[in-house]
Amino acid sequence: MIVEERITSFINSMNKDDEGIVGIIEQEARQQEVPIIRKETKEWMKTMLCIKKPMRVLEVGTAVGYSAIYMNQYLPEGAHITTIEKWEPRIEQAKDNFRRAQVEDRITLLEGDAADILRGLEGNFDFIFMDAAKGQYIHFLPDVIRLLAMDGVLVSDNVLQDGEVLDSKYVVDRRNRTIHGRMREYLYALKNHELLETSIIPIGDGVALSVKCK
């Protein structure tokens, strides 16, 4: 928890639950402990989407499709989401959820490792949601910046990892030390890239909001 629990609870008490199938898919995912987007983060994303009105959205890390289905509700007519997932059981669940939510024509699922898929992707995406393995963000970044349109927005989730990204390298175990080191590198890259302006926001598990400009 990077924000005092009672503040997060207060913020979330103001939020309405998703209705219908979107709410059911969210509940199922939380029950199965799929690491889907936190409630306060998705509310914030909603307002970002309504400001930006992106026509082409790319998501790295589909899981069971919840965040894609959620984002789809706030996109303009004719918009499209491309989302990438590599883990077979989740791919099947995501496909099933896209069917249930009747969004198969609006969301394309690309199956495989994002490292390979991103390299082969073309096009200008005006909104990218980075939400896959945290230690890999830094490796995905060159392709993500290439795929981002001018004035495009990049939202990276889980960048503060419960605050552990800040901790001294001596108090976290070796595996996490590597992941956190890479995340610090990633944040440094976002903050210092000549084409990006980035703000790190302590909401949910930490979010970085970047825009490609200049």
CA nearest 154: which of 47, 58, 46, 35? 58
CA nearest 46: which of 78, 14, 87, 6? 14
Closest contact distance (angstroms) between CB of 35 and ligand SAH is 5
Tokens of 17: 């639950």
* 205 in contact with ligand SAH (CB under 6 A): no
Collect all residues with Cβ–Cβ distance below 8 Å to 8 and sequence separation of at least 6.
1, 40
Provide the mask over 113-152, with x wherever binding to Mg ion is found by CB under 5 A and - wherever it is not: ------------------x---------------------
Phi and psi, residue 204, nearest 5°: 60, -120
**Nearest-10 Cα torsion for 143, 144, 148, 154:** -170
Query: What single-letter amino acid sits at 207?
Result: V
The residue (of 55 and 176) whose beta carbon lies closer to Mg ion is: 176
Provide the mask over 17-56, with x wherever binding to ligand SAH is found by CB under 6 A and - wherever it is not: ------------------xxx-------------------
Stretch touching Mg ion by CB under 5 A, among 3-11, 45-53, 138-146, 158-166: 158-166
* 183 in contact with ligand SAH (CB under 6 A): no
Q: How far apart are CA 27 and CA 132, in angstroms?
A: 21
The residue (of 79 and 132) whose beta carbon lies closer to ligand SAH is: 132
Please choose which of Mg ion, ligand SAH, none residue 158 contacts, taking the beta carbon within 5 to 8 angstroms, the exact cut-off set by kind. Mg ion
Contact (Cβ atoms closer than 8 angstroms) between residue 191 and residue 130? no
Closest contact distance (angstroms) between CB of 155 and Mg ion is 10
In the list 158, 161, 198, 210, the residue contacting Mg ion (rule: CB under 5 A) is 158
* 143 in contact with ligand SAH (CB under 6 A): no
The residue (of 63 and 91) whose beta carbon lies closer to Mg ion is: 63
**How far apart, in Å, do the first and last CA atoms of the chain sit?**
35
Radius of gyration of the chain (CA): 17
* 85 in contact with Mg ion (CB under 5 A): no
* 134 in contact with ligand SAH (CB under 6 A): no
Residue with CB nearest Mg ion?
Answer: 157
Tokens of 72: 């789809």
Residues that bind Mg ion (CB under 5 A): 131, 157-158
